[in-house]
């Protein structure tokens, strides 16, 4: 007789959160995601290249200014680590109210076959990033579906580029991508968490969508970051 899998702590809580908010907003973001990936023909790559990695497609621009410094990100991570599940649930509800499209871009991953454990990796990234945005004291505009789609088209080319690379090539390519990005701390944090959870290698369509969703959080935050005036 097959034993029932024991639920992880907070798992049922997140299931209820996703059920409560899943709906038209998630469907709209799913349509955006499908349009952007279909336009680039993101089928699994079969390229295996043992040569030196070529440069990744360029980041959104060469702005030297970063909105989320390493100090802000560290503070956000510390605050997140101290949160109870109820605190995290309230923060998720706040994101749903103030940045709904970012929230739905994580929620939609269940429609691509991602497990709750995998979705939670991306959701936790969003919670940390949103907390960092609050700590920064800047006011981000509501990130629209148009912004999400524009950013997604840009990063989809990068995700497609690294498919089929060896592990060493992926490390070199991601290091180059981080160095060229205006939100280096956020991007490095994404790659670090994906490596920690063994999601860095893109071997399935689900893993590809997880990577796209996480990278697009960073891209959208960078794209819409309020610019400071001197």
pLDDT tens-place string over residues 196-209? 998 877 778 888 88
Assigned token pair, 75: 């503070």
Structure confidence by residue, pLDDT tens digits, 214-229: 999 999 999 999 876 4
Report d(CA 118, CA 11) in Å as an integer: 12
Structure confidence by residue, pLDDT tens digits, 71-101: 999 999 999 999 999 999 999 999 999 999 9
43 pLDDT higher than 60: no
CB contact burial 56-65 (16+ within 10 A = b; e otherwise):
beebbeeeee
Range from 17-21, 163-167, 180-184, 189-193 that averages highest in pLDDT = 189-193
109 pLDDT higher than 80: yes
1 pLDDT higher than 60: no
On the 0-12 / 13-18 / 19+ scale of CB atoms within 10 A, 197 is: middle
* Locus of tokens 């871009």: 105
Average pLDDT of the chain to the nearest whole number: 78
Give pTM, 2 decimals.
0.77
Report d(CA 201, CA 83) in Å as an integer: 30
pLDDT for res 223 = 92
Report d(CA 182, CA 65) in Å as an integer: 6
Assigned token pair, 60: 């959104």
Report d(CA 199, CA 18) in Å as an integer: 22
């Amino acid at each position: 007789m097959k034993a029932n899998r024991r639920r992880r702590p907070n798992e049922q809580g997140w299931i209820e959160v996703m059920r409560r908010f899943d709906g038209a907003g998630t469907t709209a973001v799913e349509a955006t995601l499908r349009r952007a990936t279909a336009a680039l023909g993101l089928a699994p790559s079969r390229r295996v290249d043992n040569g030196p990695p070529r440069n990744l497609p360029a980041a959104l621009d060469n702005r030297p200014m970063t909105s989320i410094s390493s100090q802000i990100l560290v503070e956000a991570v510390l605050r997140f680590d101290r949160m109870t599940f109820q605190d995290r649930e309230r923060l998720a509800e706040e994101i749903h109210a103030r940045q709904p499209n970012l929230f739905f871009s994580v929620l939609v991953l269940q429609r691509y076959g991602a497990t709750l454990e995998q979705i939670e990796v991306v959701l936790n990234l969003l919670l940390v990033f949103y907390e960092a945005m609050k700590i920064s004291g800047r006011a981000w505009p509501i990130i629209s579906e148009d912004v999400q789609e524009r950013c997604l088209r840009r990063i989809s080319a990068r995700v497609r580029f690294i498919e089929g690379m060896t592990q060493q090539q992926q490390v070199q390519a991601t290091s180059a991508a981080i160095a060229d990005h205006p939100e280096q701390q956020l991007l490095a944090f994404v790659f670090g968490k994906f490596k920690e959870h063994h999601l860095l290698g893109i071997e399935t369509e689900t893993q590809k969508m997880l990577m796209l969703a996480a990278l697009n959080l960073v891209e959208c935050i960078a794209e819409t970051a309020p610019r400071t005036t001197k």
